[in-house]
């Protein structure tokens, strides 16, 4: 039987006030903040009830995110300044490595469809260290989960095109990464197209409930219905 080291889930969270700028064409600042908070709660509620994880850490300077972390039993690592997703993830990975953690599972806060089964699949796919396991976004451009043992093993790089660079960096270390492809991990809500894809399948998530109650879902559907047909 393979000895699978426990993984700490690591979730970087920037200021809620400035969240989801790429949705600015369809959502107000208040709506973006409320949606991001709902998605973060969806992610935390799953992670903090997963028996296969060593624990959950948020890397954030946002007080509201810190309150949510405490509510769900997650730790907070506070950055000195907001330097972006890659810097926050790398900071968290170094901190966990310095504490002697066996491994890290980096996840974004905007994957509201995540389930405990998705986490179990990642944990089961992740080999004993040194090891890397990746879950790509639905377009196979982004990395929606990165597991590393030890935590600081892989030089991280997030953005629109991070999946294949992470594959290449793992292989440059002589490691063939494990790949986990699951719907709950694949959809991160960054753009209006992502939001429409999320709304296309009703879910028992806080994020979906917010979009229905706020009227945003109806507004998004109405906007599509009123678009002129292509010539």
What's the confidence (pLDDT) of residue 229? 47
The Cβ of residue 25 has, within 10 Å, a number of other Cβ atoms equal to 7
106 close to 146: Cβ distance less than 8 angstroms: yes
107 close to 161: Cβ distance less than 8 angstroms: no
What's the confidence (pLDDT) of residue 160? 76
Q: Which tokens is 162 given? A: 């991070």
What's the confidence (pLDDT) of residue 35? 97
Written as tens digits, the pLDDT of the chain (231 aa) is 455 568 999 999 988 888 999 999 999 999 999 999 999 999 999 999 998 899 999 999 999 999 999 999 999 999 887 778 899 999 999 999 999 999 999 999 999 999 999 999 999 999 887 999 999 999 899 999 999 999 999 999 987 789 999 999 999 999 999 999 999 999 999 999 999 999 999 999 999 999 999 999 999 888 754 555 445
Identify the CA nearest to 14 among candidates 101, 110, 115, 96.
110
Which domains does the chain carry? Answer: 7-225 (3.90.550.10)
What's the confidence (pLDDT) of residue 5? 64
Cα 37 to Cα 60: distance, rounded to the nearest angstrom: 13
Identify the CA nearest to 25 among candidates 176, 194, 192, 226.
192
């Amino acid at each position: 039987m393979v000895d699978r080291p426990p993984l700490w889930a690591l979730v970087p969270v920037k200021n809620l006030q400035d969240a989801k700028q790429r949705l600015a064409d369809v959502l107000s600042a208040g709506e973006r903040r409320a949606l991001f908070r709902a998605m973060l709660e969806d992610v935390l509620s799953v992670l903090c009830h997963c028996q296969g994880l060593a624990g959950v850490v948020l890397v954030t300077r946002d007080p509201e995110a810190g309150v949510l972390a405490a509510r769900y039993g997650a730790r907070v690592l506070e950055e000195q300044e907001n330097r972006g997703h890659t810097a926050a993830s790398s900071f968290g990975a170094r901190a966990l490595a310095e504490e002697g953690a066996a491994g890290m599972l980096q996840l974004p806060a905007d994957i509201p469809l995540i389930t405990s089964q998705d986490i179990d699949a990642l944990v089961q796919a992740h080999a004993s260290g040194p090891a890397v396991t990746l879950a790509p976004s639905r377009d196979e451009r982004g990395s929606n989960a990165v597991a590393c043992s030890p935590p600081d093993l892989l030089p991280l790089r997030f953005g629109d095109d991070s999946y294949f660079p992470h594959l290449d960096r793992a292989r440059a270390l002589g490691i063939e990464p494990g790949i986990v492809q699951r719907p709950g991990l694949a959809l991160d809500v960054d753009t209006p197209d992502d939001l429409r894809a999320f709304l296309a399948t009703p879910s028992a998530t806080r994020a979906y409930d917010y979009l229905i109650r706020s009227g945003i879902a109806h507004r998004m559907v109405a906007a599509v219905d009123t678009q002129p047909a292509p010539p």
